Every structure is written in structure tokens, then in C-alpha cells.
């Protein structure tokens, strides 16, 4: 199928969703502290509503059900991988993707921080599962995906703290200080046996890419001994959500995508940062983010950018700003008519030749980066 534009792709997705959705366990809206006397005070179309009584309602836009379907964990291998949900005992839960076949030598460990503008999505969504489960099998690496707290109920730095807590849990696992029973014990035991904890890589998509930078910075504030034997060997920022108050040329010129619109940039990021901050905060502004880590130890970074991304320009500027601060950042641009987090659109990956090719290139680039560090 030839690559289609935004509107055509969305119409196709709606048709596919009507077929697939009944077979999916769809994510239900999240509502807290509901009241009968309430009005909508903020809305991100199709994704999020905030009410006057403090209620936060998370939605799925029409046609998006296949992506937000919850994939339950499973201990019987599927396509060479098992999936396990593990409570860490540190106030954060993680999802483990474990290759079925034990490697001949210990393998790097990837820690995944999901996107969603700090406000939406879950690591158990099919959107992520259909990329990260095959990635674990292809690279033969364990992947630890973090269930992040969501804003606006839990604004930054809550997600940064959760990412750091996941690293502390990995340290506990590596030291043999974690205790589980039954299936969870077996899964954590496989992670302990297979993982090379001296080569831990953070990987995140969209706002999760920001979190790769921010969690690495949080770790860099401590003594290297604090995480031993865990060592951050690198970070992979996939189409990170860097932005400024003043719109970039790419925001003005590039089209929206299935997973990123100008409204999402304008509203979700503001809801995610601390109250009183805006998009020029150190959490989202590329130059501010780089300047804030000038004095810190930061691992080498792989920055993946998309030519057609609304946020292309601030992403590229982040890489330049980091290099100017003496940090190691390799920037790789995906060319052609693909857009923000295209590799997570599993329908397009299966049906569109260009999307499939660019996804394969992205995976090879990640593999090369990991093997080099």
C-alpha cells in the first residue's frame, strides 16, 4: 500500500479498528474523584479531559483502540519472548520482556520509558508491546519497561523519580537483594542471570525521550557507587518531545501525525511540567535541558529524529546543544514521508513499505549503538 497522508491514514485506521477492536482488551478511561457538578476546564481532543472538581478522564480517540488495547503479561513464550509484570517494592511497577532462549553471555539491559506527553499512555498498551516485545527477541536483550506516574495528577519530576527507582530496583536485582515467589521469582531470576548490569541503556519515545535525558541526569547527580553494579552505558532518545514556547519552523511547516498534533504539544507538555513552568523549562526546552547537565556525568546518547516530525527542529537543536556542552550525542535522521514515532504504528509497519524500511533501519541503528557501547 502506498504511504497515505494524515487524514487518509486516520480513516484507514478507523476502518481497521472497527474490525480489530472487538478482539482487543481496550484501555478504559481513567477517572478519579468524580463529581456530578463539574465542567470541563481543559481538554486534549480525543485523549484527555480535566474537570473543575479535579477529575482527570483519559480517553481513546475513535480508531485508536487497537493501539491502546492492554496486552496482559504471559509466561508461555510467544514469538520468542515472555512478558511479566513485576512490583519492585520501590513504589513503581515494571514490565519485563525476556527473550525465551538464554544467551551464551550476559546481554545489555534496556530500560524503557514510555511517551504520551507525560500525561497519557501505559507501558502495557499494544502500541508499545508490538515494538518492544519483538525488539527484545531481535536483539536478544531483556527490556525493563517502567509503569510511569502520569500528569497532571503526578507532574514532573514524578516520572523522573520513577525512572530512577527502576534503576535502583535493577541494582537490587543485580545484588541479589530482591525477593519474589513463584513465576515472578523465575522471571527476575532470568533477568539476573541474563542481564549485563554494567551495560544498562535507557530508551524512550517522544516525551519518554526527554525522560531518558532527565533520568540519566538524575543518576549523574549521584556518586557512581550509588548504582553499582548497574552502570548507565547509554541512552536512546526516539523522537523526543523537546519544544519551546516560540514555535519552531518544523512545527509551522510539517503536518500532524496520528500520534502528535500541535494541540498535544501545546497542552500535554504544559500539564506535565511543574506548576508555573512552561515549554521553556529544563524538562522540555532543548538548550535549557543541555545547559542543566553541563556539570554532570552523562552517558553517550543516540538521538533519532524524523524529517517530517513537528518537533524535528528542537530535537536537532538538543543534539547540537549537548555536543556544545561536551556531551556525546549521535544524531540520526529518518528521511522521507514518515512521522513522529512511526515505528510504533504497527499497521503502517506491516502495510507500508517505506515505514517498514525506516523501522528496520531504526532497529539496526539502535543495535549498532548498543553493540558499540
pLDDT tens, 337-356? 999 999 999 999 999 999 99
Least confident of 34-43, 117-126, 227-236, 297-306: 34-43
96-100, 204-208, 223-227, 346-350: the lowest-pLDDT one: 223-227
Phi/psi at 213 (5° precision): -60, -45
Residue at 174 is within a domain: yes
CA angle 93/94/96 to nearest 5° reads 150
pLDDT of residue 37: 81
State the pLDDT at residue 303.
Answer: 98
Residue 133 in any domain: the answer is: yes
Burial-class residue 33 by CB neighbours within 10 Å (0-12, 13-18, 19+).
Answer: exposed
Query: What's the pLDDT score for residue 16?
Result: 39
Q: Is residue 190 part of a domain?
A: yes
Structure confidence at residue 36 (pLDDT): 64
pLDDT of 6 over the 50 cut = no
Q: For residue 359, is it within any domain?
A: yes
Whether pLDDT at 25 is above 80 = no
Residue 43 C-alpha cell reads as 481538554
- pLDDT at position 24: 38
Question: What local confidence, expressed as pLDDT, does residue 11 receive?
Answer: 41
Percent over 70 (pLDDT), the chain: 90
Q: Is residue 12 part of a domain?
A: no
Grid coordinates given for 237? 532518545
Q: Is residue 257 part of a domain?
A: yes
**Segment among 81-85, 174-178, 198-202 with least mean pLDDT:** 174-178
- What secondary structure does DSSP assign to 98-141, as a single string? EESSPPSS-EEEEEEE--STTTS--TTBHHHHHHHHHHHHHHT-
pTM greater than 0.85: yes
C-alpha cell at 13: 485506521
Domain residue limits at 201 = 70-372
| Section 199-222 average pLDDT | 98
Does residue 157 have a pLDDT over 50? yes
pLDDT tens-digit map of 81-116: 999 999 999 999 999 999 997 677 899 999 999 999
> For position 237, which CATH number holds?
3.40.50.1820
The confidence score (pLDDT) of residue 104 equals 79
Q: What is the pLDDT of residue 58?
A: 97
Asked if residue 206 is part of any domain, the answer here is yes
Number of compact structural domains in the chain: 1
N- to C-terminal Cα distance for the chain? 38
Burial label, 211 (beta-carbon count in 10 A; 0-12, 13-18, 19+): buried
Using the predicted structure, report yes or no on whether residue 124 has a pLDDT greater than 90: yes
Distances (CA, A) of 197 to 90, 215, 230, 305: 19, 17, 5, 28
Residue 278 falls inside a structural domain: yes
Quote the pLDDT of residue 12: 42
Amino acid at each position: 500500500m502506498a504511504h497515505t497522508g494524515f487524514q487518509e491514514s486516520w480513516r484507514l485506521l478507523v476502518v481497521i479498528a472497527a474490525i480489530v477492536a472487538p478482539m482487543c482488551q481496550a484501555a478504559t478511561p481513567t477517572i478519579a474523584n468524580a463529581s456530578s457538578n463539574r465542567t470541563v476546564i481543559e481538554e486534549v481532543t480525543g485523549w484527555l479531559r480535566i474537570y473543575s472538581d479535579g477529575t482527570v478522564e483519559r480517553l481513546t480517540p475513535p480508531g485508536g483502540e487497537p493501539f491502546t488495547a492492554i496486552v496482559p503479561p504471559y509466561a508461555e513464550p510467544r514469538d520468542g519472548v515472555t512478558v511479566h509484570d513485576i512490583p519492585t517494592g520501590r513504589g513503581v511497577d515494571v514490565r519485563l520482556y525476556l527473550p525465551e532462549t538464554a544467551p551464551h553471555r550476559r546481554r545489555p539491559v534496556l530500560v524503557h520509558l514510555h511517551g504520551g506527553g507525560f500525561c497519557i499512555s501505559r507501558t502495557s498498551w499494544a502500541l508499545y508491546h508490538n515494538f518492544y516485545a519483538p525488539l527484545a527477541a531481535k536483539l536478544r536483550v531483556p527490556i525493563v519497561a517502567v509503569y510511569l506516574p502520569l500528569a497532571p495528577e503526578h507532574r514532573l519530576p514524578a516520572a523522573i523519580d520513577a525512572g530512577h527507582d527502576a534503576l535502583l530496583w535493577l541494582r537490587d536485582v543485580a545484588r541479589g537483594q530482591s525477593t519474589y515467589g513463584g513465576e515472578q521469582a523465575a522471571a527476575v531470576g532470568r533477568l539476573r542471570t541474563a542481564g549485563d548490569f554494567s551495560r544498562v541503556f535507557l530508551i524512550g519515545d517522544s516525551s519518554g525521550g526527554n525522560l531518558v535525558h532527565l533520568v540519566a541526569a538524575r543518576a549523574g547527580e549521584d556518586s557512581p557507587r550509588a548504582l553499582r553494579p548497574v552502570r548507565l552505558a547509554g541512552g536512546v532518545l526516539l523522537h523526543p518531545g523537546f519544544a519551546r514556547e516560540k514555535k519552531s519552523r518544523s512545527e509551522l511547516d510539517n503536518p500532524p501525525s496520528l500520534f502528535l498534533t500541535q494541540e498535544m504539544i501545546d497542552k500535554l507538555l504544559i500539564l506535565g511540567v511543574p506548576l508555573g513552568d512552561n515549554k521553556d523549562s529544563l524538562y522540555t526546552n532543548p538548550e535549557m535541558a543541555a545547559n542543566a547537565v553541563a556539570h554532570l556525568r552523562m552517558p553517550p546518547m543516540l538521538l533519532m529524529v524524523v524529517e517530517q516530525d513537528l518537533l524535528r527542529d528542537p530535537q536537532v537543536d538538543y543534539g547540537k546543544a549537548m555536543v556544545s556542552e561536551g556531551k556525546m550525542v549521535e544524531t540520526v535522521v529518518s528521511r522521507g514521508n514518515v512521522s513522529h514515532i512511526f515505528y510504533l504504528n504497527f499497521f503502517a509497519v506491516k502495510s507500508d513499505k517505506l515505514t517498514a524500511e525506516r523501522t528496520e533501519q531504526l532497529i539496526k541503528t539502535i543495535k549498532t549503538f548498543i553493540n558499540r557501547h
